[in-house]
A and B are shown apart, each in its own frame.
Chain A
Amino acid sequence: MELRQGILKKNDLLAADLRARFGAAGLLAVNLVSSPGAGKTALLERTLRELRLTGQRVAALVGDLETDNDARRLAMSGAPVRQIQTHGCCHLEADMIGRHLEGWDLGQLDYLFIENVGNLVCPAGYDLGEALRVAIVSVTEGEDKPLKYPAMFHSADVVAISKIDLAAACEFDRDAALRNIREIRPGVEILETSSKSGAGFAEWFELLARRREAADEAEA
């Protein structure tokens, strides 16, 4: 018997609902993915803090297997932050996002950041309704990460090369990294950031503002 059914159909439908809600609320949802420790939380700490200083309304959801350490770090920014404990599940799914948004007035937000579980394999296939998927790869991980995890890097709208302050110490081969990223995801926007020094954050904020404007125009 013929079935023709997407295995992740339930997630895809929920994600489509979320995307419509985000669009209607005029907020830009950003899904951050990386291997464990590449610097998602550090990037978000600085992002939340600095966006708030410029009057932007931001919130974050943080996926973590067991702890709420990252949520506590992010909450120091003063932004609303919620932890999503996945209890062993290696990625976030759309229904977890939906459940953790309860009680938040999305119309009062400009940006919603979602820190996915540190994992470059499993989150790739799970749409969270985000407008922007940012894959982070740190200079300490080796330039061939995109080649090793092509499904994830191919699904990214933006790739951020993080911990750029450590590039020299790691003998980071920038050209090789850029080449590998573009080989897997031609045309992707690439940032080079340091959450320690703030390098690359002006470009990051410019990109966010530009994408948010584009999303707003598409909605109007």
Chain B
Amino acid sequence: MHELSIAYSVVSSATEALAGRKVAKVDSVLLRVGALSGIMEDPLQFCWGLATEGTLLAGSGLVIERVPVTIRCRPCGQDVALDGVQSFRCPRCGTPGLEVLKGRELEIVSLEIEEDGDDAHSGVATGDSEKERPAGG
């Protein structure tokens, strides 16, 4: 189990990315976690408070988007998402999936932040579109 060290690296990457910005508060961090990443959601959530303590991210929430394994099935001519990771066969035709297209992800997608000096939320994770300013505006 190394969810704590994963949590620490998320904190350090996010802190680096926020350098130079006037951040009042980080509301949440969105991660994308593939079913083959070897990372489990519960322990990661469990570690989050500890890893963020005393940092810019203290008090933020962790939002995890899970990505199922997707294989390319040649016989079906299709990309198929799998239900779990107990079998890599195509659920339609039973052919073993040799090409895995998705499921290894382990990435920070976005940060939902409140900047100092204004109340506007800045972020793309929540689809909070009315608060997003147009580019260059």
Contacts and interface: CB of A to CB of B under 8 A. Distances in A.
A176 to B, nearest CB: 14
Contact of B13 (A7, A182, A186): A7
Interface of A: 1-10, 89-91, 121-122, 124-125, 147, 150-152, 154-155, 182-187
24 contacts: A1-B110, A1-B122, A2-B110, A3-B14, A3-B17, A3-B110, A4-B108, A4-B110, A5-B107, A7-B9, A7-B10, A7-B31, A7-B107, A89-B5, A121-B38, A124-B38, A150-B85, A151-B36, A154-B88, A182-B96, A183-B88, A184-B85, A184-B88, A186-B88
Interface string B62-101: 0000000000000000000000011111000000111010
Nearest to B84: A150
A155 B36 CA distance: 9
A183 B122 CA distance: 44
Nearest to B30: A3
Contacts of B10: 7
B113 interface: yes
A5 B17 contact: yes
Contact of A122 (B1, B87, B89, B100): B1
Contacts, number: 86
Interface residues of B, number: 33
Interface of B: 1-2, 5-6, 9-10, 13-14, 17, 31, 36-39, 85-89, 96-98, 100, 106-111, 113, 122-124
Contacts of B111: 1, 3
Contacts of A9: 13
Contacts of B88: 154, 183-186
